[in-house]
A and B are shown apart, each in its own frame.
Chain A
Amino acid sequence: MKLDTAKILQKRKKQILELWMKNQLVDFSLREDLMSNEELSVQSEELVNVLLQTLSNDNLEDVQSASFEPLYEVLETISRSRAKMGYSPRETGTFVFSLKDALLNVLQQEIKNDPVQLLDESMKVSKLIDSLGIVTFETFIKGREEVILRQTDEIAEISTPVIRVWDGIVAMPIIGTLDSARTQVVMENLLQEIVATSSSIAILDISGVPAVDSLVAQHLLKTVSATRLMGAECIISGIRPEIAQTVVHLGIDLSGIVTKATLASALRHAFSLLQLEVRRPIVKTKAGIDG
């Protein structure tokens, strides 16, 4: 007699769901702080519904079958949302794999007279759930990667502030290694700010850049060229002795650029370009009056 596993499972849906919920609730990885039990049961019911709807005897042996697509979709949504909520991989994995216990349990009750068939069907079911587990992990990791990418963007965004130090002078302290993607952000922010404040002098402070190699130097040169094209002057400051050494050893030509050791001297240079002067107020001292 040919057994219809899909039918059996569909018939016992309610029991499967109950078993699965019970499995999940007793498991030590249950996270009530992240998701309430009601939400969990809604999520579980949704997954079981889709699983049993898409399951048929024809596709049980073919986990790559296109008819499983809706199932994978639901699973991906759940997995992604869990990744964002801060579930650990083990917790997310347990969520899917505890379903296997429930399904096998039901199968065991239904086909208890025929061990060969039971083994056969159990293998198929467990293969299917394994494949679901793999999909879960793939999306879980993808979800995490999205989070990391977003944070990288955020760091890049906040790590390049443009400071207006004087009327017509903007400064930009760069902290961290300059790669091409970051140079792009640095350049865009700086140029945008030059337009917004119509500043004629920009100071790039590289005290926070750990190392300057030929690539970084090229990026700096590009930024300086772009600032010049806009009609502003660019000064590079914060060059540490080690950086001066590497630049010379690498044979990088920075002769076309104004470079200063500190932000203060860059600012002084900027003042002299703008024909500004900083001086102490003249205080008439007693000695001065006497003199």
Chain B
Amino acid sequence: MDKIPILKIGHFLMVAIQVDLYDRLALGLESDLVQAVSKTGAKGVLIDISSVSIVDSFMGRILGNIAGMSKILDAETVIVGMQPAVAITLVELGLPLKGVQTALNVEKGMELLQKKIQITEEEEIEDDSTLQ
């Protein structure tokens, strides 16, 4: 069975989806990614879907699920490089993916993640200092 590679870069995990996701592949990715987040303790997940040209409601839900699960495991999810047709389809399907961060490309996605993580770290430091 095909697998989508999950790469670890610093504090982040990166997934580049190069093929059109069929249901079983998407489910596999979902469980693999959650496993990887908990194993590596990653702070952010970057999913590049710039090569994905077809989406359905299932795929939309999977993306939402991944974001939700990562959030519980304290990792931010950013989806980058969505094609216009895909965005229109998702909106028409009534899946605006609320709660999922998006960015135009991998570079901007990385910047966004770094900014997010800095903010949370600062908050933690503040919390710690108030405790003391």
Contact = CB atoms under 8 A, between A and B. Distances in A.
Interface of A: 184, 187-188, 191-192, 194-195, 198-200, 222, 225-232
Contacts of B87: 191, 226-227, 229-230
B90 A229 contact: yes
B104 A229 contact: no
Contacts of A200: 104, 108
A237 to B, nearest CB: 21
Given A188-B88, A191-B87, A191-B88, A229 B108 contact: no
B91 A229 contact: yes
B104 A228 contact: no
Contact of A231 (B90, B91, B92, B102): B102
Interface stretch (B7-15, B37-45, B78-86, B123-131): B78-86
B105 A229 contact: no
A231 B103 contact: yes
B100 to A, nearest CB: 8
B88 A231 contact: no
Q: A interface, by DSSP: helix, strand, loop or mixed?
A: helix
Nearest to B107: A198
Nearest to A228: B102
B84 A192 contact: yes
A132 B111 CA distance: 70
Contact of A228 (B96, B108, B109): B96
A226 B91 contact: yes
B91 A195 contact: no
Nearest to B104: A231
B104 A198 contact: yes
B103 A188 contact: no
Contacts, number: 58
Residue picked from A194, A195, A228, A230, most chain B C-beta under 10 Å: A230
A250 B85 CA distance: 30
A232 B105 CA distance: 10
A188 B84 contact: yes
A93 B121 CA distance: 81
A225 B83 contact: no
Contacts of A225: 91, 96
A188 B89 CA distance: 11
Contact of B84 (A195, A198, A199, A228): A195
B97 interface: yes
A230 B108 contact: no
A232 to B, nearest CB: 6
Contacts of B108: 198, 200, 231
Nearest to A225: B96
A87 B105 CA distance: 54
A66 B90 CA distance: 49
Contacts of A191: 84, 87-88
A133 to B, nearest CB: 46
A194 B90 contact: no
Contacts of A184: 88
A198 B96 contact: no
Given A222-B91, A231-B103, 11 more contacts: A194-B84, A194-B104, A222-B92, A225-B91, A226-B87, A228-B96, A228-B102, A229-B90, A230-B82, A230-B102, A231-B82
Interface string B52-80: 00000000000000000000000000011
Contacts of B84: 187-188, 191-192, 194-195, 226, 230
A194 B109 CA distance: 15
Contacts of B92: 222
9 contacts: A187-B84, A191-B84, A191-B87, A199-B104, A200-B108, A222-B91, A231-B79, A231-B80, A231-B81
Contact of B83 (A195, A198, A227, A232): A195
A44 to B, nearest CB: 51
